[in-house]
């Protein structure tokens, strides 16, 4: 995986190269998906993140946060917290209900309207799944899943790039198998694959594959993810990570984020709390020991997000869901 570097963005957060045009993206960004979603609270958190030096904002048509991201960036520029919109790396995503050849460009235009921006830095296919066209929603009905036209969708993504509306294009939740299929048809290869990745879901095979193919990986749920149903978190409650954190005088969250950074992977943690936002970027001036890394490699592996977790449990799909699963085997 490529080494971090500076970008010209005045921030203490290092950057990783991504794509083939000499671009880069911050090693730590801010994720804007929140359950339950309260727009004003998320906007305040985005603003706080920008004040602290975050320069990557991760949104999606699904999250309902595009508009507030645009507003927070505009306000931050007005108040002199950033010089201009160009200082911020903005990612948004095409949801499964928009994942159809003819809907890609209109969907990006709608996202840009929400953001009140001329371009996004990165546009991602959110999942390798197509669901009958409708407003982005979640969970989705199994009977609405249709076969994906990956070639057509990717050609439309390439068009978004050619039009200058997306500086880079990429994917999310793609396994090595899905990436191989995409690479065989792409004229412009994906610059980034955003996937679930943390000490409890380490994705060694995918990291190796992406390194070999020059695809940058971004980790979502780098702290084990938000939980709507239980109080357990495989990362934040890991006894191994707690033990390392105590010995190193760091928080468990910092051990997880530092481990991800050392894999050459960028990340988009989310917190509504300013002290945690600060803590989550204090990971660049120290490192894990070989012994810490060995212990982390022994953490039991568990994936949170699967195709089944984004669909209603009932109903029958005419598409073989096992074929489109997003879990790297």
Ligand X SMILES: NC(=O)c1ccc[n+]([C@@H]2O[C@H](COP(=O)([O-])OP(=O)(O)OC[C@H]3O[C@@H](n4cnc5c(N)ncnc54)[C@H](OP(=O)(O)O)[C@@H]3O)[C@@H](O)[C@H]2O)c1
Q: Nearer Cβ to ligand X, position 11 or 194?
A: 194
Q: Find out whether 137 is annotated in a ligand binding site.
A: no
Give residues 1-60 in contact with ligand X (rule: CB under 6 A): 31-33, 58
Tell me whether residue 220 is one of the annotated catalytic residues.
no
DSSP per position, 54-92: --EEE--GGGT-HHHHHHHHHHHHHTTSSS-GGGSEEEE
The answer to whether residue 194 forms part of the interface with ligand X (CB under 6 A) is yes
Contact track, ligand X, 282-321, x by CB under 6 A: -----------------------x----------------
The answer to whether residue 222 forms part of the interface with ligand X (CB under 6 A) is yes
The answer to whether residue 157 forms part of the interface with ligand X (CB under 6 A) is no
Contact track, ligand X, 117-156, x by CB under 6 A: ---------x------------------------------
Catalytic residue among 54, 63, 119, 261: 63
Angle at 154 between CA 150 and CA 160, to 5 degrees: 155
Query: What percentage of the chain's residues is helix, strand, coil (to nearest 5)?
Result: 40, 15, 45
247 phi/psi in degrees, rounded to 5? -65, -30
Q: Where in 237-315 does DSSP place strands (E)?
A: 266-267
287: left (phi over 0), alpha (psi -120 to 50) or beta: beta
| Chain residue whose CB lies nearest ligand X | 31
The answer to whether residue 269 forms part of the interface with ligand X (CB under 6 A) is yes
d(CA 206, CA 195) in angstroms, rounded, equals: 10
DSSP label of 5? B
Q: Which stretch binds ligand X (CB under 6 A): 142-150, 182-190, 239-247, 270-278?
A: 270-278
Q: Which two tokens stand for residue 190?
A: 């994906």
Tell me the closest approach of the beta carbon of residue 192 to ligand X, in angstroms.
Answer: 11
Q: How many residues bind ligand X (CB under 6 A)?
A: 28
Give the residue, chosen from 225, 258, 292, 325, that forms a contact with ligand X under the rule CB under 6 A.
225
Give the residue, chosen from 111, 173, 203, 238, that forms a contact with ligand X under the rule CB under 6 A.
173
Specify whether the CB–CB gap between 29 and 267 falls below 8 A: yes
d(CA 254, CA 244) in angstroms, rounded, equals: 10
205 phi/psi in degrees, rounded to 5? -65, -45
Q: Which stretch binds ligand X (CB under 6 A): 98-106, 128-136, 276-284, 317-325?
A: 276-284
Q: Which stretch binds ligand X (CB under 6 A): 36-44, 132-140, 214-222, 242-250?
A: 214-222
Angle at 128 between CA 122 and CA 134, to 5 degrees: 85
Q: Which stretch binds ligand X (CB under 6 A): 36-44, 75-83, 139-147, 273-281?
A: 273-281
Give the strands of the sheet with 30-31, arranged side by side.
30-31, 56-58, 89-94, 120-125, 166-172, 192-196, 216-220, 266-267
Residue numbering of the annotated binding site for substrate: 126
List active site positions: 63
| Interface ranges with ligand X (CB under 6 A) | 31-33, 58, 126, 172-173, 194, 220-226, 236, 251, 253, 268-273, 276, 279-280, 305
């Amino acid at each position: 995986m490529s080494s971090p570097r500076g970008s010209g963005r005045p921030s203490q957060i290092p950057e990783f190269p991504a794509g083939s045009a000499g671009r880069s993206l911050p090693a730590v960004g801010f994720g804007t998906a929140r359950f339950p979603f309260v727009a004003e609270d998320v906007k305040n958190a985005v603003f706080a993140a920008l004040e602290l030096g975050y320069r990557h904002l991760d949104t999606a048509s699904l999250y309902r946060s595009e508009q507030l991201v645009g507003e927070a960036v505009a306000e931050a520029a007005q108040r002199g917290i950033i010089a201009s919109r160009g200082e911020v790396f903005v990612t948004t995503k095409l949801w499964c209900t928009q994942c159809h050849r003819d809907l890609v460009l209109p969907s990006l235009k709608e996202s840009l309207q929400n953001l009140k921006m001329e371009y996004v830095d990165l546009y991602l296919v959110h999942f390798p799944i197509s669901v009958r066209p409708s407003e982005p929603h979640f969970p989705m009905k199994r009977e609405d899943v249709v076969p994906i036209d990956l070639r057509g969708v990717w050609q439309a993504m390439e068009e978004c790039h050619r039009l200058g509306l997306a500086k880079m294009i990429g994917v999310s939740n793609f396994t090595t198998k899905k990436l191989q299929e995409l690479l065989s048809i792409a004229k412009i290869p994906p610059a980034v694959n955003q996937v679930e990745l943390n000490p409890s879901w380490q994705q060694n095979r995918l990291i190796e594959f992406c390194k070999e193919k020059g695809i940058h990986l971004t980790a979502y749920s780098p702290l084990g993810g938000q939980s709507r149903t239980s109080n357990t978190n495989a990362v934040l409650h890991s006894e191994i990570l707690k033990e390392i954190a105590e010995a190193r005088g760091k928080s468990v969250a910092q051990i997880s984020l530092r481990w991800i950074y050392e894999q050459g992977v960028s990340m988009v943690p989310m917190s509504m709390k300013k002290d945690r936002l600060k803590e989550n970027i204090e990971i660049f001036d120290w490192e894990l020991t070989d012994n810490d890394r060995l212990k982390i490699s022994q953490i039991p592996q568990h994936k949170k997000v699967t195709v089944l977790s984004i669909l209603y449990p009932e109903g029958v799909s005419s598409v073989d869901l096992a074929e489109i699963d997003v879990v790297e085997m």
